[in-house]
């Protein structure tokens, strides 16, 4: 095993080789820096606004934590072909020799030298695809950790082109998102309008079917209630009032009849007091009775004046009785009328009850049809609200905005002179050391081949400055 001193001795003897190889590697690095075309990098910064935070109409309830996968998806969309194709068309990269060179590349020239047929000229679509691929190779999209800031970096030989392409990619992404949302809203709106038309026709058909069933079964409704139910309710209330009226008329008739049959003063009945004629006769009767009482105290029972007054009392009493009979006849007619009215109302209620009973089965079917109408109306209203929501979503702000535009760079980003020189220096040291060690091993192998073939069992000890031969026993 070599010691550190022996290793340094080997490297010292191989120093010319190490220096030659190191200089060659450094010369190759310098040649690369001299021949490599400089590339300029420009960066535009986007702020993803997936929650509508910059919109005055944004719903605060939606401003919640956003899933990282959503942000990563948006970052991935920036470098998609749909966005880059917009940039190719806007910047006319298919006519830019940097992205679509007219001179064939090294690979194609080697194929031509080997006899392979030359490819056909590029079509317009082929030039656009070539430019798109070249732009994708020179594009880098990265997002800072735990932020919504996205940097769009583009490399180009021209600093102005790099800045223009970086800004173009950022704007193309925003435009693509706006157009995608508009297309999605239009597609959804068209589908909802189609569904609304179908649901409107279905709702109208259900309503027409329910109305036709009502007409067919003579079922009418007002203010959400069936007419026959309202009529039955009204008839019941009228029957109650008619029964009360009949009871009162019968009570008055019974009171008059009892007054006529009893020996009491007929003019004292409550019903009699309602007649102006009876009231007047009672006044006359009281006055004549007072005169008779006065005459009875001074005259005898057979006195002509007293007899005349008694005759007047009998006449007044007969008049009152006749008026009561007339009232009784009138009250009987009123009772008969009240009873007839009550009977008629009862017949109407009976007819309405039979009609309601008859239409119960029809009403059950009608309720089914009305439920179908309500269900169709609920679905129609839901799609109508969805249509309104789609109209509101179509005016939402874009999902990103440019917070820092790209500007032309003053210094090329590639090749990096310091990095290339450091790499070349490291490679020179490593290559020189490797070349020195390989050259030392080659010299040892050559010295072994020069040993006498007569001593096959001898071991050669190669040490710096001397060669020792030991016999192996």
Tens digit of each residue's pLDDT (9 = 90 or more) over 389-412: 766 555 566 778 888 898 988 888
Residue 156 backbone dihedrals phi, psi, to 5 degrees: -160, 160
In terms of DSSP bridges, do strands 458-463 and 149-156 run parallel, antiparallel, or are they unpaired? unpaired
Length of the chain: 473
Report the distance separating Cα 460 and Cα 446, nearest Å. 13
User: Of 135-144, 358-367, 446-455, which has the strongest mean pLDDT?
Assistant: 135-144
Q: Please give the pLDDT value at position 224.
A: 58
203 pLDDT above the threshold of 80: yes
Per-residue b or e along 162-182, where b marks 16 or more CB atoms closer than 10 Å to that residue's CB:
bbbbbbbbbbbbbebbeeeee
pLDDT in tens, 289-300: 777 777 777 776
- Dihedral sign (CA 446, 450, 454, 455): negative
Burial of 41 per CB tally in 10 Å (0-12, 13-18, 19+): buried
Residue 302, pLDDT > 70, answer yes
Long-range contacts of 255-261 (CB under 8 A, 24+ apart): 256/324, 256/327, 256/328, 256/331, 257/328, 259/324, 260/321, 260/324, 260/325, 260/328
Residue 271 makes CB contacts below 8 A (sequence gap 6+) with 252, 255, 256, 259, 327, 331
**Lowest mean pLDDT segment, chosen from 28-32, 187-191, 304-308, 387-391:** 387-391
Q: What's the pLDDT at 51?
A: 60
- How much is the average pLDDT of 452-459? 48
**Residue 73 confidence (pLDDT) above 80:** yes
Assigned token pair, 400: 């990103």
Query: Above 70 in pLDDT, residue 318?
Result: yes
- Gap between the Cα atoms of 100 and 127, Å rounded: 7
Cα 288 from Cα 317, distance rounded (Å):
11
Better-predicted residue by pLDDT, 369 or 218: 369
**pLDDT at position 458 over 80:** no
Cα–Cα distance between 90 and 447 in angstroms, integer?
71
Q: Is the pLDDT of residue 280 over 90?
A: no
Most confident stretch, 36-40, 154-158, 227-231, 386-390 = 154-158
366 touches 217 (CB < 8 A) = yes
Q: Report the number of secondary-structure helices (H) and strands (E) in the chain.
A: 13, 8
Least confident of 234-243, 250-259, 384-393, 399-408: 384-393
Residue 446 has pLDDT above 90, yes or no: no
Q: Are strands 400-404 and 40-48 parallel, antiparallel or unpaired?
A: antiparallel
Q: What are the angstrom distances between the C-alpha of 367 and each of 140, 203, 209, 218, 363?
A: 66, 15, 12, 15, 6
Q: Tens digits of per-residue pLDDT, 106-118?
A: 565 566 666 666 5
Check whether 240 has a pLDDT greater than 50. yes
User: What is the pLDDT confidence band of residue 148, given thresholds at 50, 70 and 90?
Assistant: confident
151 burial (CB, 10 Å; 0-12 / 13-18 / 19+) is: middle
pLDDT at residue 185 greater than cutoff 60: yes
Nearest to 431 by CA among 26, 103, 71, 68: 26
- pLDDT-above-70 percentage for the chain: 77
């Amino acid at each position: 095993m070599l010691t550190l001193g022996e290793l340094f001795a080997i490297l010292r003897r191989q120093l010319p080789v190490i220096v030659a190889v190191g200089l060659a590697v450094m010369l190759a690095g310098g040649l690369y820096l001299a021949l490599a075309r400089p590339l300029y990098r420009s960066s535009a910064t986007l702020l993803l606004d997936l929650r509508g935070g910059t919109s005055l109409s944004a719903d605060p309830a939606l401003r919640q934590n956003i899933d990282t996968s959503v942000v990563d998806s948006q970052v991935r969309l920036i470098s998609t072909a749909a966005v880059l194709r917009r940039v190719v068309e806007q910047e006319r990269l298919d006519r830019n020799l940097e992205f679509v060179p007219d001179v064939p590349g090294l690979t194609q020239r080697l194929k031509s030298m080997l006899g392979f047929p030359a490819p056909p000229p590029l079509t317009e679509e082929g030039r656009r695809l070539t430019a798109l691929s070249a732009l994708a190779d020179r594009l880098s999209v990265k997002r800072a950790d735990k932020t919504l800031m996205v940097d769009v970096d583009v490399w180009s030989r021209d600093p102005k082109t790099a800045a223009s392409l970086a800004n173009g990619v950022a704007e193309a992404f925003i435009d693509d998102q706006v157009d995608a949302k508009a297309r999605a809203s239009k597609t959804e709106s068209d589908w909802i309008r189609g569904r609304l038309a179908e649901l409107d026709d279905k709702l109208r058909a259900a309503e027409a079917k329910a109305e036709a069933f009502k007409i067919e079964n003579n079922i009418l409704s007002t203010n959400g209630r069936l007419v026959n139910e309202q009529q039955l309710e009204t008839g019941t209330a009228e029957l109650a009032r008619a029964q009360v009226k009949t009871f009162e008329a019968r009570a008055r008739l019974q009171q008059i009849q009892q007054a006529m049959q009893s020996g009491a003063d007929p003019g004292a009945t409550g019903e009699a007091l309602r007649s102006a004629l009876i009231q007047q006769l009672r006044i006359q009767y009281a006055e004549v009775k007072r005169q008779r009482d006065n005459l009875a105290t001074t005259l005898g029972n057979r006195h002509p004046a007293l007899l005349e007054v008694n005759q007047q009392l009998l006449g007044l009493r007969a008049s009152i009785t006749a008026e009561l009979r007339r009232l009784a006849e009138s009250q009987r007619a009123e009772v008969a009328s009240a009873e007839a009215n009550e009977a008629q109302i009862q017949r109407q209620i009976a007819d309405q009850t039979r009609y309601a009973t008859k239409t119960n089965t029809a009403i059950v079917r009608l309720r089914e049809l009305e439920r179908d109408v309500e269900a169709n109306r609920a679905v129609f209203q839901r799609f109508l609200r969805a249509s309104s929501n789609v109209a509101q979503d179509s005016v939402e702000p874009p999902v990103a905005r440019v917070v820092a535009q790209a500007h032309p760079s003053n210094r090329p980003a590639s090749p990096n002179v310091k990095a290339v020189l450091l790499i070349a220096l490291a490679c020179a040291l490593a290559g020189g050391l490797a070349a020195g060690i390989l050259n030392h091993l080659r010299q040892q192998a050559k010295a072994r081949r020069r040993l006498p073939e007569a001593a096959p069992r001898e071991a050669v000890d190669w040490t710096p400055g001397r060669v020792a031969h030991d016999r192996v026993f």
